Amino acid sequence: MTIDWQREVESRKDELLEKLNAFLSIESVLDPDTAGEGAPFGKGIDQALTYMLELGKENGFSVKNLDGYAGHIEYGEGEEIVGILSHVDVVPAGDGWTTPPFSPDIRDGKLYARGAIDDKGPTMAAFFALKIVKELGLPLSKKVRLILGTDEETYWRCMDHYFKHEPMPVMGFTPDADFPLIVAEKGFLDISLRGEVPSGEPVAEGEDTWTLASFTAGQRVNMVPDLAKAKLVGEGDVFGLKEQYQEFLLSRRIRGYAEEADDHLMLVLEGVSHHGSEPGKGLNAALELIRFLKEKVQLDADGQRYVNFAHRYLVDSFFGEKMGLAQSDDIVGKLTVNAGVFQYEREQSHLVRINVRYPISGDHETILREIDELARPYGLRVEDVDHKAAHAVDKNHELVRTLSQVYEEQTGQQAELLAIGGGTYARALDVGVAFGPLFPGREETAHQKDEHIMVDDLLKATAIYAQAIYELAK
Ligand SMILES: [Zn+2]
Protein backbone atom coordinates (compact mmCIF):
# COMPACT_ATOMS: atom_id res chain seq x y z
CA MET A 1 0.00 0.00 0.00
CA THR A 2 1.38 3.40 -0.89
CA ILE A 3 0.15 6.37 1.03
CA ASP A 4 0.58 9.93 -0.16
CA TRP A 5 1.43 11.42 3.22
CA GLN A 6 1.87 14.91 1.88
CA ARG A 7 -1.60 14.84 0.35
CA GLU A 8 -3.13 13.59 3.59
CA VAL A 9 -1.58 16.59 5.34
CA GLU A 10 -2.64 19.09 2.66
CA SER A 11 -6.26 17.99 2.99
CA ARG A 12 -6.12 18.84 6.70
CA LYS A 13 -4.11 22.04 6.36
CA ASP A 14 -6.86 24.50 7.33
CA GLU A 15 -7.84 22.50 10.37
CA LEU A 16 -4.23 22.14 11.45
CA LEU A 17 -3.57 25.87 11.17
CA GLU A 18 -6.80 26.71 12.99
CA LYS A 19 -6.02 24.43 15.94
CA LEU A 20 -2.43 25.62 16.03
CA ASN A 21 -3.57 29.25 16.02
CA ALA A 22 -5.65 28.67 19.14
CA PHE A 23 -2.84 26.71 20.79
CA LEU A 24 -0.25 29.42 20.09
CA SER A 25 -2.57 32.07 21.50
CA ILE A 26 -2.20 30.60 24.98
CA GLU A 27 0.59 32.32 26.88
CA SER A 28 2.15 29.13 28.24
CA VAL A 29 5.08 30.69 30.09
CA LEU A 30 6.19 29.40 33.50
CA ASP A 31 4.31 31.40 36.11
CA PRO A 32 4.85 30.38 39.75
CA ASP A 33 2.36 33.06 40.86
CA THR A 34 -0.58 31.14 39.42
CA ALA A 35 0.73 27.66 40.21
CA GLY A 36 -1.41 25.37 42.33
CA GLU A 37 -2.80 21.88 42.71
CA GLY A 38 -2.83 20.21 39.29
CA ALA A 39 -1.11 23.19 37.68
CA PRO A 40 2.44 23.14 39.08
CA PHE A 41 3.82 25.60 36.52
CA GLY A 42 0.96 28.09 36.44
CA LYS A 43 -2.27 28.77 34.58
CA GLY A 44 -0.93 29.36 31.08
CA ILE A 45 0.97 26.09 30.86
CA ASP A 46 -1.97 24.23 32.38
CA GLN A 47 -4.29 25.73 29.77
CA ALA A 48 -1.97 24.68 26.94
CA LEU A 49 -1.70 21.12 28.26
CA THR A 50 -5.46 20.89 28.72
CA TYR A 51 -6.01 22.27 25.23
CA MET A 52 -3.96 19.48 23.64
CA LEU A 53 -5.51 16.74 25.77
CA GLU A 54 -9.04 17.97 24.99
CA LEU A 55 -8.17 18.01 21.31
CA GLY A 56 -6.97 14.43 21.65
CA LYS A 57 -10.18 13.39 23.34
CA GLU A 58 -12.36 15.09 20.70
CA ASN A 59 -10.52 13.10 18.07
CA GLY A 60 -11.16 9.80 19.78
CA PHE A 61 -7.75 9.20 21.35
CA SER A 62 -7.27 8.06 24.90
CA VAL A 63 -5.51 10.75 26.91
CA LYS A 64 -4.01 11.13 30.33
CA ASN A 65 -3.07 14.12 32.47
CA LEU A 66 -0.43 13.45 35.12
CA ASP A 67 -1.25 16.04 37.77
CA GLY A 68 -0.56 18.88 35.36
CA TYR A 69 3.12 17.92 35.07
CA ALA A 70 2.73 16.19 31.73
CA GLY A 71 0.23 14.27 29.67
CA HIS A 72 -0.06 11.92 26.76
CA ILE A 73 -2.27 11.21 23.79
CA GLU A 74 -2.30 7.56 22.86
CA TYR A 75 -3.17 5.45 19.86
CA GLY A 76 -2.52 1.86 18.84
CA GLU A 77 -2.31 -1.58 20.38
CA GLY A 78 0.44 -3.69 21.80
CA GLU A 79 2.85 -4.02 24.67
CA GLU A 80 5.59 -1.75 23.41
CA ILE A 81 5.36 2.01 23.29
CA VAL A 82 6.78 4.35 20.68
CA GLY A 83 7.14 7.82 22.16
CA ILE A 84 6.98 11.23 20.56
CA LEU A 85 8.13 13.79 23.06
CA SER A 86 7.28 17.47 22.72
CA HIS A 87 6.54 20.34 25.08
CA VAL A 88 3.78 22.91 25.50
CA ASP A 89 5.70 25.49 27.54
CA VAL A 90 7.49 28.39 25.87
CA VAL A 91 10.12 30.92 26.89
CA PRO A 92 8.94 34.47 27.72
CA ALA A 93 8.20 36.63 24.68
CA GLY A 94 10.84 39.34 25.16
CA ASP A 95 10.74 42.60 23.22
CA GLY A 96 10.96 43.74 19.63
CA TRP A 97 8.26 41.67 17.95
CA THR A 98 6.74 42.87 14.67
CA THR A 99 3.35 41.45 15.65
CA PRO A 100 2.24 40.41 19.16
CA PRO A 101 3.92 37.11 20.13
CA PHE A 102 0.71 35.46 21.31
CA SER A 103 -1.40 36.60 18.34
CA PRO A 104 -0.14 34.25 15.61
CA ASP A 105 0.33 35.89 12.23
CA ILE A 106 1.15 34.45 8.82
CA ARG A 107 3.27 36.66 6.54
CA ASP A 108 5.16 35.58 3.41
CA GLY A 109 4.46 31.93 4.11
CA LYS A 110 5.82 32.11 7.63
CA LEU A 111 3.84 31.60 10.81
CA TYR A 112 5.02 34.00 13.51
CA ALA A 113 4.36 33.41 17.21
CA ARG A 114 6.21 32.49 20.38
CA GLY A 115 6.28 28.70 20.23
CA ALA A 116 5.81 28.52 16.43
CA ILE A 117 8.91 26.34 16.11
CA ASP A 118 9.74 25.68 19.80
CA ASP A 119 7.72 23.67 20.40
CA LYS A 120 4.00 24.17 19.89
CA GLY A 121 4.09 24.14 16.08
CA PRO A 122 5.90 20.78 16.06
CA THR A 123 3.58 19.49 18.81
CA MET A 124 0.60 20.20 16.59
CA ALA A 125 2.40 18.65 13.62
CA ALA A 126 3.00 15.48 15.65
CA PHE A 127 -0.63 15.46 16.77
CA PHE A 128 -1.93 15.71 13.21
CA ALA A 129 0.53 13.03 12.17
CA LEU A 130 -0.99 10.69 14.73
CA LYS A 131 -4.47 11.77 13.67
CA ILE A 132 -3.71 10.91 10.05
CA VAL A 133 -2.44 7.46 10.99
CA LYS A 134 -5.63 6.91 12.99
CA GLU A 135 -8.00 8.24 10.33
CA LEU A 136 -6.40 6.07 7.67
CA GLY A 137 -7.24 3.11 9.89
CA LEU A 138 -3.70 1.77 9.68
CA PRO A 139 -3.13 -1.25 11.91
CA LEU A 140 -0.38 -0.81 14.49
CA SER A 141 1.39 -3.44 16.55
CA LYS A 142 2.70 -0.95 19.10
CA LYS A 143 1.18 1.84 21.14
CA VAL A 144 2.12 5.34 20.12
CA ARG A 145 2.19 8.04 22.74
CA LEU A 146 2.51 11.72 22.06
CA ILE A 147 3.99 12.77 25.40
CA LEU A 148 3.46 16.42 26.30
CA GLY A 149 6.02 17.99 28.61
CA THR A 150 5.41 21.28 30.40
CA ASP A 151 8.76 22.34 31.87
CA GLU A 152 11.26 21.76 29.08
CA GLU A 153 12.38 25.39 29.05
CA THR A 154 13.30 25.33 32.73
CA TYR A 155 14.10 22.25 34.80
CA TRP A 156 12.45 19.28 33.06
CA ARG A 157 10.48 18.58 36.27
CA CYS A 158 7.69 17.39 33.95
CA MET A 159 9.75 14.43 32.79
CA ASP A 160 10.87 13.44 36.28
CA HIS A 161 7.22 13.25 37.27
CA TYR A 162 6.01 11.59 34.07
CA PHE A 163 8.52 8.76 34.09
CA LYS A 164 7.95 8.14 37.77
CA HIS A 165 4.42 7.09 36.86
CA GLU A 166 4.57 5.90 33.26
CA PRO A 167 6.74 3.35 31.45
CA MET A 168 9.66 4.38 29.28
CA PRO A 169 8.94 3.97 25.55
CA VAL A 170 11.10 1.35 23.80
CA MET A 171 12.16 4.12 21.44
CA GLY A 172 11.06 7.52 20.30
CA PHE A 173 11.85 10.90 18.83
CA THR A 174 11.43 14.51 19.80
CA PRO A 175 10.38 17.15 17.27
CA ASP A 176 12.21 19.87 19.20
CA ALA A 177 15.46 20.50 17.32
CA ASP A 178 16.82 19.93 13.81
CA PHE A 179 16.29 17.71 10.81
CA PRO A 180 17.59 15.31 9.71
CA LEU A 181 18.46 13.43 12.94
CA ILE A 182 20.46 14.21 16.04
CA VAL A 183 21.67 10.86 17.31
CA ALA A 184 24.34 11.86 19.80
CA GLU A 185 24.73 14.62 22.39
CA LYS A 186 27.63 15.30 24.73
CA GLY A 187 27.19 14.88 28.44
CA PHE A 188 27.32 18.06 30.42
CA LEU A 189 28.27 19.28 33.82
CA ASP A 190 27.51 22.72 35.21
CA ILE A 191 29.97 23.06 38.03
CA SER A 192 30.12 25.76 40.69
CA LEU A 193 33.52 26.16 42.30
CA ARG A 194 33.20 28.09 45.53
CA GLY A 195 35.79 29.50 47.87
CA GLU A 196 35.83 29.37 51.61
CA VAL A 197 35.65 33.03 52.49
CA PRO A 198 36.62 35.16 54.30
CA SER A 199 40.16 33.96 54.54
CA GLY A 200 41.36 36.91 56.58
CA GLU A 201 44.42 37.42 54.44
CA PRO A 202 45.69 40.98 54.79
CA VAL A 203 45.08 43.54 52.09
CA ALA A 204 47.95 44.31 49.83
CA GLU A 205 50.56 46.73 50.96
CA GLY A 206 53.34 48.42 49.16
CA GLU A 207 53.68 50.77 46.25
CA ASP A 208 53.00 48.56 43.30
CA THR A 209 50.51 46.25 44.86
CA TRP A 210 46.78 46.24 44.33
CA THR A 211 43.91 44.56 46.12
CA LEU A 212 41.29 42.83 44.02
CA ALA A 213 38.06 44.17 45.52
CA SER A 214 35.81 42.44 43.01
CA PHE A 215 35.86 40.57 39.75
CA THR A 216 32.65 39.85 37.87
CA ALA A 217 31.79 38.38 34.48
CA GLY A 218 28.99 36.42 32.85
CA GLN A 219 25.48 35.53 33.91
CA ARG A 220 24.96 32.11 32.39
CA VAL A 221 27.31 29.21 32.69
CA ASN A 222 26.53 28.00 29.16
CA MET A 223 27.45 31.29 27.48
CA VAL A 224 30.84 32.84 26.76
CA PRO A 225 30.86 36.02 28.91
CA ASP A 226 31.05 39.20 26.86
CA LEU A 227 31.83 41.61 29.70
CA ALA A 228 34.26 41.44 32.60
CA LYS A 229 35.05 43.96 35.33
CA ALA A 230 37.84 44.04 37.87
CA LYS A 231 37.76 46.56 40.71
CA LEU A 232 41.16 47.34 42.15
CA VAL A 233 41.95 49.35 45.26
CA GLY A 234 45.29 50.37 46.62
CA GLU A 235 48.10 52.86 46.50
CA GLY A 236 49.68 51.65 43.30
CA ASP A 237 50.60 53.74 40.27
CA VAL A 238 47.23 54.44 38.63
CA PHE A 239 48.65 56.15 35.59
CA GLY A 240 51.14 53.38 34.92
CA LEU A 241 48.53 50.67 35.28
CA LYS A 242 46.09 52.43 32.96
CA GLU A 243 48.80 52.74 30.37
CA GLN A 244 49.71 49.09 30.64
CA TYR A 245 46.08 48.14 30.29
CA GLN A 246 45.72 50.20 27.12
CA GLU A 247 48.81 48.54 25.68
CA PHE A 248 47.49 45.13 26.55
CA LEU A 249 44.12 45.81 24.91
CA LEU A 250 45.75 47.24 21.84
CA SER A 251 48.21 44.40 21.41
CA ARG A 252 45.42 41.84 21.63
CA ARG A 253 42.96 43.91 19.62
CA ILE A 254 40.39 43.83 22.39
CA ARG A 255 37.94 46.54 23.44
CA GLY A 256 37.88 47.83 26.97
CA TYR A 257 38.78 50.74 29.20
CA ALA A 258 39.94 51.74 32.66
CA GLU A 259 37.76 53.95 34.80
CA GLU A 260 39.17 55.90 37.69
CA ALA A 261 37.06 56.74 40.73
CA ASP A 262 37.85 58.28 44.12
CA ASP A 263 38.73 55.09 45.87
CA HIS A 264 39.28 52.52 43.14
CA LEU A 265 40.25 51.73 39.58
CA MET A 266 37.81 49.73 37.45
CA LEU A 267 39.09 47.70 34.52
CA VAL A 268 36.40 46.82 32.00
CA LEU A 269 36.91 44.39 29.14
CA GLU A 270 34.48 43.65 26.33
CA GLY A 271 34.46 40.21 24.75
CA VAL A 272 32.16 38.49 22.29
CA SER A 273 29.41 36.20 23.50
CA HIS A 274 28.89 32.77 22.04
CA HIS A 275 27.13 29.55 23.02
CA GLY A 276 29.02 27.64 25.69
CA SER A 277 29.16 24.47 23.60
CA GLU A 278 31.85 26.21 21.49
CA PRO A 279 33.86 28.10 24.10
CA GLY A 280 36.77 28.78 21.75
CA LYS A 281 34.53 30.89 19.52
CA GLY A 282 33.54 34.36 20.58
CA LEU A 283 35.92 36.00 23.03
CA ASN A 284 35.80 35.21 26.74
CA ALA A 285 36.02 38.62 28.42
CA ALA A 286 36.75 37.12 31.84
CA LEU A 287 39.69 35.04 30.71
CA GLU A 288 41.27 37.97 28.85
CA LEU A 289 40.99 40.17 31.92
CA ILE A 290 42.44 37.36 34.03
CA ARG A 291 45.34 37.18 31.59
CA PHE A 292 46.05 40.87 32.12
CA LEU A 293 45.78 40.68 35.91
CA LYS A 294 48.08 37.67 36.06
CA GLU A 295 50.72 39.10 33.76
CA LYS A 296 50.78 42.76 34.77
CA VAL A 297 49.33 43.33 38.21
CA GLN A 298 50.79 42.50 41.59
CA LEU A 299 47.72 41.49 43.61
CA ASP A 300 46.90 40.74 47.25
CA ALA A 301 47.12 37.08 48.29
CA ASP A 302 43.38 36.28 47.98
CA GLY A 303 42.99 38.02 44.65
CA GLN A 304 46.15 36.40 43.36
CA ARG A 305 44.96 32.95 44.29
CA TYR A 306 41.66 33.42 42.46
CA VAL A 307 43.34 34.84 39.38
CA ASN A 308 46.03 32.17 39.45
CA PHE A 309 43.47 29.38 39.43
CA ALA A 310 41.68 30.76 36.38
CA HIS A 311 44.95 31.52 34.63
CA ARG A 312 46.51 28.17 35.41
CA TYR A 313 43.54 26.02 34.30
CA LEU A 314 41.10 28.01 32.17
CA VAL A 315 42.94 30.59 30.06
CA ASP A 316 43.84 29.17 26.62
CA SER A 317 42.30 25.85 27.55
CA PHE A 318 38.90 25.45 25.92
CA PHE A 319 39.29 21.69 25.57
CA GLY A 320 40.31 20.95 29.15
CA GLU A 321 43.99 20.60 28.20
CA LYS A 322 45.38 22.44 31.22
CA MET A 323 43.22 20.48 33.64
CA GLY A 324 44.39 17.23 32.08
CA LEU A 325 40.85 16.48 30.97
CA ALA A 326 41.35 16.61 27.19
CA GLN A 327 39.55 13.68 25.59
CA SER A 328 37.46 13.01 22.53
CA ASP A 329 35.62 10.32 20.67
CA ASP A 330 34.72 10.05 17.02
CA ILE A 331 31.01 10.46 17.71
CA VAL A 332 30.68 13.91 19.29
CA GLY A 333 34.31 15.05 19.29
CA LYS A 334 36.23 16.87 21.99
CA LEU A 335 35.46 17.65 25.59
CA THR A 336 34.95 21.40 26.01
CA VAL A 337 35.20 23.74 28.98
CA ASN A 338 33.38 27.06 29.11
CA ALA A 339 34.23 29.44 31.94
CA GLY A 340 30.85 31.16 32.09
CA VAL A 341 30.45 32.98 35.39
CA PHE A 342 32.91 34.73 37.71
CA GLN A 343 31.85 36.35 40.98
CA TYR A 344 34.57 37.49 43.29
CA GLU A 345 33.81 39.88 46.12
CA ARG A 346 36.65 40.22 48.55
CA GLU A 347 35.76 38.47 51.81
CA GLN A 348 32.25 37.70 50.55
CA SER A 349 32.07 35.37 47.60
CA HIS A 350 34.63 33.53 45.54
CA LEU A 351 32.88 31.71 42.74
CA VAL A 352 33.75 30.33 39.32
CA ARG A 353 31.14 28.46 37.30
CA ILE A 354 32.20 26.27 34.42
CA ASN A 355 30.30 24.20 31.90
CA VAL A 356 32.04 21.00 30.84
CA ARG A 357 30.70 19.02 27.87
CA TYR A 358 32.20 15.59 27.56
CA PRO A 359 32.15 12.88 24.89
CA ILE A 360 30.01 9.76 25.04
CA SER A 361 32.95 7.77 26.38
CA GLY A 362 33.59 10.24 29.22
CA ASP A 363 33.11 9.55 32.90
CA HIS A 364 31.56 12.45 34.77
CA GLU A 365 32.63 11.32 38.24
CA THR A 366 36.28 11.22 37.26
CA ILE A 367 35.99 14.65 35.67
CA LEU A 368 34.42 16.12 38.80
CA ARG A 369 36.96 14.55 41.11
CA GLU A 370 39.87 15.84 39.07
CA ILE A 371 38.52 19.38 38.90
CA ASP A 372 37.92 19.38 42.64
CA GLU A 373 41.47 18.21 43.31
CA LEU A 374 42.95 20.91 41.09
CA ALA A 375 40.83 23.67 42.61
CA ARG A 376 41.42 22.94 46.30
CA PRO A 377 44.96 24.34 46.52
CA TYR A 378 43.44 27.61 45.26
CA GLY A 379 40.83 27.73 47.99
CA LEU A 380 38.02 26.61 45.70
CA ARG A 381 36.04 23.40 45.70
CA VAL A 382 33.31 21.78 43.67
CA GLU A 383 29.94 22.55 45.22
CA ASP A 384 26.77 22.59 43.12
CA VAL A 385 26.75 20.31 40.12
CA ASP A 386 24.05 19.93 37.52
CA HIS A 387 24.70 16.85 35.41
CA LYS A 388 23.08 15.50 32.27
CA ALA A 389 24.56 12.27 31.00
CA ALA A 390 25.81 11.92 27.45
CA HIS A 391 23.23 10.49 25.13
CA ALA A 392 23.59 8.45 21.96
CA VAL A 393 21.64 5.99 19.89
CA ASP A 394 23.53 3.53 17.72
CA LYS A 395 23.41 4.43 14.06
CA ASN A 396 22.30 0.91 13.23
CA HIS A 397 19.38 0.99 15.64
CA GLU A 398 15.98 0.37 14.04
CA LEU A 399 14.89 3.86 15.17
CA VAL A 400 17.72 5.60 13.35
CA ARG A 401 17.41 3.47 10.23
CA THR A 402 13.66 3.96 10.00
CA LEU A 403 13.68 7.73 10.54
CA SER A 404 16.55 8.19 8.08
CA GLN A 405 14.68 6.24 5.46
CA VAL A 406 11.46 8.20 5.97
CA TYR A 407 13.32 11.50 5.81
CA GLU A 408 15.13 10.57 2.61
CA GLU A 409 11.98 9.29 0.99
CA GLN A 410 10.02 12.44 1.72
CA THR A 411 12.66 15.09 1.12
CA GLY A 412 14.90 13.49 -1.49
CA GLN A 413 17.82 14.62 0.68
CA GLN A 414 20.36 12.47 2.41
CA ALA A 415 19.65 12.00 6.11
CA GLU A 416 22.96 13.02 7.62
CA LEU A 417 23.27 11.87 11.23
CA LEU A 418 24.16 14.75 13.53
CA ALA A 419 26.14 14.71 16.76
CA ILE A 420 26.09 17.87 18.84
CA GLY A 421 27.57 19.48 21.92
CA GLY A 422 24.25 20.97 22.94
CA GLY A 423 21.36 19.12 24.49
CA THR A 424 17.89 18.25 23.21
CA TYR A 425 14.74 16.93 24.79
CA ALA A 426 15.61 13.48 23.38
CA ARG A 427 17.78 12.95 26.45
CA ALA A 428 14.62 12.39 28.46
CA LEU A 429 14.10 9.15 26.51
CA ASP A 430 16.28 6.08 27.03
CA VAL A 431 16.39 5.47 23.29
CA GLY A 432 15.54 8.74 21.63
CA VAL A 433 16.69 11.04 18.87
CA ALA A 434 15.82 14.60 17.91
CA PHE A 435 14.00 14.66 14.57
CA GLY A 436 13.16 18.11 13.19
CA PRO A 437 11.39 20.44 12.81
CA LEU A 438 14.07 22.87 11.57
CA PHE A 439 15.23 21.88 8.10
CA PRO A 440 18.87 22.34 7.06
CA GLY A 441 19.65 25.89 5.98
CA ARG A 442 16.60 27.48 7.62
CA GLU A 443 16.97 30.43 9.95
CA GLU A 444 17.03 29.45 13.64
CA THR A 445 14.54 31.66 15.52
CA ALA A 446 13.70 29.65 18.64
CA HIS A 447 13.84 31.80 21.80
CA GLN A 448 14.18 34.95 19.69
CA LYS A 449 11.87 37.79 18.74
CA ASP A 450 9.77 37.09 15.63
CA GLU A 451 10.09 33.33 16.16
CA HIS A 452 8.56 31.58 13.17
CA ILE A 453 8.21 28.43 11.13
CA MET A 454 7.63 28.25 7.37
CA VAL A 455 4.11 26.94 6.84
CA ASP A 456 5.31 24.58 4.10
CA ASP A 457 7.97 23.20 6.45
CA LEU A 458 5.36 22.65 9.14
CA LEU A 459 3.24 20.64 6.69
CA LYS A 460 6.26 18.72 5.41
CA ALA A 461 7.26 17.89 8.99
CA THR A 462 3.72 16.65 9.66
CA ALA A 463 3.91 14.31 6.67
CA ILE A 464 7.32 13.04 7.77
CA TYR A 465 6.08 12.45 11.33
CA ALA A 466 2.98 10.61 10.10
CA GLN A 467 5.00 8.19 8.03
CA ALA A 468 7.57 7.85 10.81
CA ILE A 469 4.89 6.94 13.34
CA TYR A 470 3.43 4.37 11.01
CA GLU A 471 6.78 2.81 10.10
CA LEU A 472 7.91 2.62 13.73
CA ALA A 473 4.67 1.21 15.11
CA LYS A 474 3.24 -0.88 12.28
ZN1 LIG B 1 12.05 23.28 22.89
Q: State the pLDDT at residue 379.
A: 93
Distance 452 CA to ligand 1 centre (A): 13
Distance 361 CA to ligand 1 centre (A): 26
Q: What is the mean pLDDT of residues 124-136?
A: 98
Q: State the pLDDT at residue 181.
A: 96
Mean pLDDT score across all residues of the chain: 94
Sorting pLDDT into bands at 50, 70 and 90, what band is 101?
Answer: very high
Q: What is the mean pLDDT of residues 412-440?
A: 93
Q: What is the mean pLDDT of residues 79-88?
A: 98
Q: What is the mean pLDDT of residues 269-293?
A: 94
Sorting pLDDT into bands at 50, 70 and 90, what band is 205?
Answer: low
Q: State the pLDDT at residue 207.
A: 61
Q: What is the mean pLDDT of residues 149-172?
A: 95
Distance 308 CA to ligand 1 centre (A): 39
Which of the 8 DSSP states describes residue 378? G
Is residue 430 among the annotated active site residues? no
pLDDT digits (tens, 9 = 90+) for 207-261: 678 999 999 999 889 889 999 999 999 888 899 999 999 999 999 999 999 999 9
> DSSP string spanning 434-465?
E--EEPTT----TTSTT-EEEHHHHHHHHHHH
End-to-end CA distance of the chain: 13
Q: State the pLDDT at residue 199.
A: 60
Residue 200 has pLDDT above 70, yes or no: no
Q: Which positions ≥6 away from 116 have C-beta within 8 Å? A: 24, 104, 445, 451, 452, 453
Q: Where are the domains of the chain?
A: 5-184+391-473, 188-388
Residue 188 has pLDDT above 70, yes or no: yes
Q: State the pLDDT at residue 236.
A: 82
Which DSSP helix (H) or strand (E) runs through 433?
strand 432-434
Ligand 1 is an ion; its neighbours by CB within 5 Å are 118-119, 176
Distance 118 CA to ligand 1 centre (A): 5
Is residue 243 among the annotated active site residues? no
Distance 439 CA to ligand 1 centre (A): 15
- Out of 89, 119, 450, 451, the active site residue is 89
Distance 78 CA to ligand 1 centre (A): 29
Q: What is the dihedral of CA 253, 259, 264, 270, to 10 degrees?
A: -40
Task: Say if CB 444 and CB 438 are below 8 A apart.
Answer: yes
pLDDT digits (tens, 9 = 90+) for 352-405: 999 999 999 899 999 999 999 999 999 999 999 999 889 999 999 999 999 999
Residue 98 has pLDDT above 90, yes or no: yes
Task: Say if CB 333 and CB 271 are below 8 A apart.
Answer: no
Distance 255 CA to ligand 1 centre (A): 35
Q: State the pLDDT at residue 350.
A: 95
Residue 95 has pLDDT above 90, yes or no: no
Residue 203 has pLDDT above 70, yes or no: no
Q: What is the mean pLDDT of residues 324-344?
A: 94
Query: Which among 209, 195, 205, 225 is positioned nearest to 344, based on CA atoms?
Result: 195
Q: Judge: domain 5-184+391-473, CATH 3.90.870.10.
A: no
| CATH classification (class only), 188-388 | alpha beta
Q: State the pLDDT at residue 275.
A: 85
Distance 350 CA to ligand 1 centre (A): 34
Which residues on neighbouring strands pair with residue 210, listed in sequence order? Answer: 234, 299
Rg for the chain, CA atoms, rounded: 26
Q: State the pLDDT at residue 196.
A: 79
- Out of 152, 153, 185, 226, the active site residue is 152
Q: State the pLDDT at residue 421.
A: 83
Tallying the residues shown for the chain, one arrives at 474
> DSSP string spanning 31-52?
-GGG-BTTBTT-HHHHHHHHHH
